[in-house]
A = this chain, B = another copy of it.
C-alpha cells in the first residue's frame, strides 16, 4: 500500500537526457524533424519510455521552448548589464545587437520560439509566458528607464483598450511590473527587430538584405532616433 518513492533524479536523469538529445537533433536537422522515436533510439530506450517523463510530444516541445526562452532571456539581460546603467541608448543598442546575434547563433531555437515549425503545435501561453516575459524584460526595463529620465519620445502612442487590460496585467506580473507605455513601446520595437531577424533567418530577405549587418544597424539607429530624445 505504501508507494515507492521515485528514483533519485541524480542517478537517472532521463528527463534531462531526453531534452539534451532533442536539442542535439534540432541543431542537426531542424526542429521540424524532431521525433520521439529518434530520440529514444539515440538514448537506447524505447519510445513509450519517454511518456514517463513527458505526457506527450507537445509537452516536450513546450519544455524545450521554455529552455530556449530562458537562454534567450539570459543573453538579453547579460547584454544590458554589460553596459553602464547611465548609458541608456547604449544599453538599448546592445540589447538589439544581442537579439540578432542570439537568433543567428541559434536559428532553430529562434524558429522554435517564434515560428510554428511543428505540425499542429500551439504553445500553451500560461506555461510559456513567464520565460517569454522575462526575455522581453531587458528591453522593457531600458525603455522604462528612458521614460523615467523624461527622454521617451512617443507622442499619441495608442492606448491599451480596457478589454485587454486583464491580459496586460498578467504580462506585467511576469515581466517586471513595468509601466504600460514602456511595455507598449518595447513591444513595437521588438516587432521591428523581429521583422528583420525572422526574415533573415527564414531566407526571405531579398538578396541585398543579405548585407544584414548594415540594414540592421540602420534600423536600430532609426529606432533610437524615433523614440529617444537626445540628452
Binding site for B on A (CB under 8 A): 29-30, 32-33, 111, 114-122, 125, 133, 136, 156-161, 164, 166-168, 170-171, 180, 183-184, 187-188, 190-196, 198-199, 202-211, 214-215, 217-219, 222, 226
Contacts and interface: CB of A to CB of B under 8 A. Distances in A.
A33 B195 contact: no
Of A122, A158, A166, A206, most B-chain CB atoms within 10 Å? A206
List the number of copies, as a whole number: 2
B171 A207 contact: yes
Of A121, A136, A159, A192, most B-chain CB atoms within 10 Å? A192
Contacts of A215: 158, 184, 187-188
Contacts of A133: 206
Does more than half of chain A's interface fall in helix, strand or loop, or is it mixed? helix
A85 to B, nearest CB: 25
A90 B31 CA distance: 42
B195 A208 contact: no
Contacts of A192: 191-192, 195
Contact of A187 (B187, B202, B206): B206
A30 B120 contact: yes
Contacts of A160: 208, 211
Given A192-B192, A215-B158, A218-B158, A206 B116 contact: no
A192 B121 CA distance: 26
Contacts of A198: 194-195, 198
A202 B116 contact: yes
Given A195-B196, A218-B158, A164 B116 contact: no
A206 B183 contact: yes
A30 B121 CA distance: 11
A214 B159 contact: yes
Contact of A157 (B111, B190, B218): B218
A56 to B, nearest CB: 16
Given A158-B211, A167-B210, A222-B226, 7 more contacts: A32-B120, A115-B202, A160-B208, A180-B208, A187-B206, A188-B219, A191-B219
